[in-house]
Amino acid sequence: MTSSSTRLDRYISKNSPYSKSDVRLLIAQQRILVGGKPAESIRQLIDKFSRVELDGVCLQQKRPVYIMLNKPKGVVSATRDGTHTTVVDLIDHPEKHDLHIAGRLDFNTTGLILLTNDGLWSRRLSLPESKLAKTYQVTVAKPLNADYVAAFFRGIYFAYEDITTQPAKLEIVSPHEARLTLVEGKYHQVKRMFGHFQNEVLSLHRVSVGPIALRELEPGQCRELSEAEIRETGGLVA
């Protein structure tokens, strides 16, 4: 059992006049529905997204929400900020204040950012073993060359943490522009990787996270993920 789940008998006792000892009989009489189906056991696990009905009355119905936003420059990756506009401020959704950010972007970094009320999903996206590819468009101050491509593929050593970055794919688009795909998200990683060459990052724009891509979204626009995008990333389709 996870900390976000509870047994059905405990849930019913907390959210109805019935005690835990009554639940077994309620189940036998098929008076409890979970997800539209008769409850199976007093030990059946209930989480915040389970639809629970007792005698035709809905005790809980909360759906998982997955939103993608094209973050503009100068917007804070936070749910609240006393000074700056936050990503949540840009979202028009009735459950916006229940959302949290799955993978932040720096103040001046633009592009794809994901928000959700599903903590298991956001943790899954951030796990190192998920190796979820993140792709960025990068503009730098000095011209790029094949040395960058080779170094990014080998991995770049960060002395402060005493680590070497995992192999990353760098595609040079023009002398000062590149497309970078990596599977990590260490602190200021992209800027530090180019900093290895004393090359300043002038702009950084995230275009995709795994199978989820910005495509037609304009800066400041958002939309809910499609069922296909949710399934491909392990989310719960309502």
Helices marked H in 63-170: 119-126, 146-154
The amino acid at residue 72 is P
DSSP string, 44-101: -EE-TT--EEETTEEEE-----EEEEEEPTT-BSSS--SSS-BTGGG---TTGGG-EE
pLDDT of residue 128: 74
How many whole angstroms separate alpha carbon 126 and alpha carbon 155?
Answer: 20
Instruction: Spell out the residues 6+ positions from residue 37 whose beta carbon is closer than 8 angstroms to its own.
Output: none
Catalytically annotated residues: 106
How many whole angstroms separate alpha carbon 67 and alpha carbon 96?
Answer: 10
Helices marked H in 89-188: 119-126, 146-154
How many whole angstroms separate alpha carbon 11 and alpha carbon 23?
Answer: 10
Helix H or strand E encompassing 111: strand 110-116
How many whole angstroms separate alpha carbon 200 and alpha carbon 195?
Answer: 6
How many whole angstroms separate alpha carbon 196 and alpha carbon 70?
Answer: 29
pLDDT of residue 238: 64
How many whole angstroms separate alpha carbon 190 and alpha carbon 167?
Answer: 13
Taking a C-beta distance cutoff of 8 angstroms, is the pair 102, 122 a contact?
A: yes
pLDDT of residue 3: 47
Alpha-carbon distance values, 184 to 157, 165, 188 (Å): 14, 8, 11
Q: How many CB atoms lie within 10 A of CB 68?
A: 24
pLDDT per residue, tens digit, the chain (238 aa), is 344 789 999 999 999 999 999 999 999 999 999 989 999 999 999 988 888 999 999 998 788 999 999 999 999 999 999 899 999 999 999 889 889 999 899 999 999 999 999 988 998 898 877 889 999 999 999 999 999 999 999 999 999 899 999 999 999 999 999 999 999 988 899 999 999 999 999 999 999 999 999 998 999 999 999 999 999 999 887 6
Taking a C-beta distance cutoff of 8 angstroms, is the pair 167, 153 a contact?
A: yes
pTM: 0.82
